[in-house]
Amino acid sequence: MQTINKLLFIFSTLFFLTVNTFAQDVITLKNGNEINAKVQEVGIDDVTYKANGQIYTKKQSEIFRIVYANGTVEVFKNSSPIQEQQLPIEKKQTQKKDVQKKDTIYYDKNWKGCFKWNAEYYRVVNYNSDGNPVGKINDYYITGELRGEIDGAISIDNYDDKNSKFTGYSVGYNKNGTRWSNYRDNEGNYVSRASYYANGKIFRKQNYTSGKPDKFYIECDEFGKCENVFYERFGSENDGWAFGNESDFVSQIITIKQETENTPATKAVLMKVLTENNNIWRTTINIPLSLTENFSIETTVEFKDGYTTSQSQGIIWGFKNWDDYYTFNISANGYYKIGGKENGVFVTIKEWTETSLINKNKAKNKLKILRVGNKINFVINGSIVFTDTFRNFKGNNIGFCVSGKAESIFENLIVKQDMPAGFDITK
């Protein structure tokens, strides 16, 4: 019996030590990022913490709150730490706007208001005597698991949740183990949005400026290697695109209706040369690229009219002006060419070359330019057709080009670039 008691005591001690060893504090930054760490010290202006075996210091002005391993929450306002339980101003407000009602709202799978019997989710909200939401908001799956936690709201729409307006930090939990987080300002505008792998590492992060998404978002693999990504599908009239409307040439965003009834229409760029000429016509947008990091540029182009090598379409990149640029073109009769201009002089990197990789006539083809180190690869429908030494370019305008009396549709533009060494997505 004494032996059993000793074993129970040892097991309990080990369990307690294990729990305390792995329990971590969660530091939430004002940009929405989270840091799992052990807080060492909260100073006058800084917070010192230990993460991944290293000691770090971060300004309190960058921190939104800390959730300690023991459940205590510390919120930072005006660069000073204040315990949520010790907010005299907020207590006065609570007394004035006393919570009068706790409500449960039911939503269907599309987050539209519904009855309980056909709900996928439900939300628990506190309202004050004026009918305004106060305090934290919790969302649940109809089966009872926690779906999300939201710091606050300006308004909540019981009928269509896309019209609700939230503030502060929010986190959501998917049943597959992944999660997402958002951070909004006091007016309900997004500051950042992020989604995570099941292992807790960030999958994708989108930052916002004045409530509008930045041109690039960040995407990472499960090991923390990240890329800057620009993904354009022309969902709206996008600022920065150089569209043309001339007597010889027109380019514009068009709507493409799908053949199947339940498939939504998509947007694309139509480029059409109206007269016989030898000019190169472009539709571009300025996308800053670093000359030191690897990158890729890709698009899907569909032939509509023009079936000889004098009528071509493709990618234009490094465009500064018509004296400095590069092009990667294909023709509907199965040829490709790579060239451009350097300091006003035409350069041919690869003459017109036939390949069976091109889908001919009125068909779609995927083109990609892939820079790896000091090499640049040219890819058609997933296969490399040519490799050359990488050439520095002078401009950051990237997009599409056509020549001859041709008509083509470009479905997208995807630009990716590796983040530099030492990049920390949590900052």
424 confidence band (pLDDT: 50, 70, 90) = confident
- How far apart are alpha carbons 194 and 201 in whole angstroms? 10
For domain 89-209, the question of CATH label 2.20.110 is answered with yes
pLDDT tens digit string along 362-397?
A: 899 999 999 999 999 999 999 999 999 999 999 999
In this prediction, residue 307 carries a pLDDT of 67
Mean pLDDT of the residues in the chain = 85
pLDDT tens digit string along 252-308?
A: 888 887 766 667 778 899 999 988 877 899 999 999 999 999 999 999 999 988 767
| End-to-end C-alpha distance for the chain, whole angstroms | 55
CATH number for the region 22-82 comes to 2.30.30.100
Beta-bridge partners for 34: 28
| Residue, of 43 and 88, whose pLDDT is higher | 43
Based on the number of CB atoms within 10 Å of its own CB, is 426 exposed (0-12), middle (13-18) or buried (19 or more)?
middle
- How far apart are alpha carbons 142 and 298 in whole angstroms? 42
244 confidence band (pLDDT: 50, 70, 90) = confident
Nearest in space to 230 (alpha carbons), one of 283, 296, 170: 296
* CATH architecture under which domain 249-411 falls: Sandwich (2.60)
Domain ranges of the chain: 22-82, 89-209, 249-411
C-alpha 71: how far from chain center? 31
Residue 312 pLDDT exceeds 60 = yes
For residues 42 and 81, is the Cβ–Cβ distance under 8 A? Answer: yes
In this prediction, residue 30 carries a pLDDT of 72
